[in-house]
Structure 1
Amino acid sequence: MERPSYGYSAEDTPDPQAQPVCPRHPDRVSYVRCKRCERPACPDCQRPTPVGVLCVDCERELSREQASTRPRNAMGGGMGNRPPYVTYTLIGLNVLVYLGQMLAPQIVEQLGIFAPFRAVFMPWTFFTAGFLHGGILHLALNMYALWIVGQYLERTLGLVRFSAVYLVSVLGGHTAVYLLADPLGQAWYTGTLGASGGVFGLFAAMFIVNRRMGRQSAQILVLIALNLVITFTIPNISWQGHLGGLVLGAAVTAGMFALRPKATPGADRQALARHSALVHSAVVAAATVLCVVLIVVKTLTVMSL
Structure 2
Amino acid sequence: MKTLSLRRLRPGEWREEAQLIAQSTNAWYQASGKPAIFTGDPGQCEVFCQVYEALDPGCCVVAQDTQTGALVGSCFFHPRSTHFSLGIVNTHPEYFGHGIARKMLDEVIGLAERAGKPLRLVSSAMNLDSFSLYTRAGFVPRMLFHDMLLPDSKRLPKPDPRVRPVTAADVAALVVLEQELVGIERTKDFAYFTENALGIWSGSVWEEGGEIGGFLFAVAHPASNLLGPGVARTQEIAAALLATERQKHPGNPVFLVPATCTALLQTLYSWGARNCELHVAQVRGAWQEPLGVLFPTFLPETG
Query: TM-score with structure 2 length normalisation?
Result: 0.24
Bigger CA radius of gyration: 1
Higher relative contact order (CA 8 A, sep 6+): 2
- Which protein has the bigger helix share? 1
- Which protein has the bigger strand share? 2
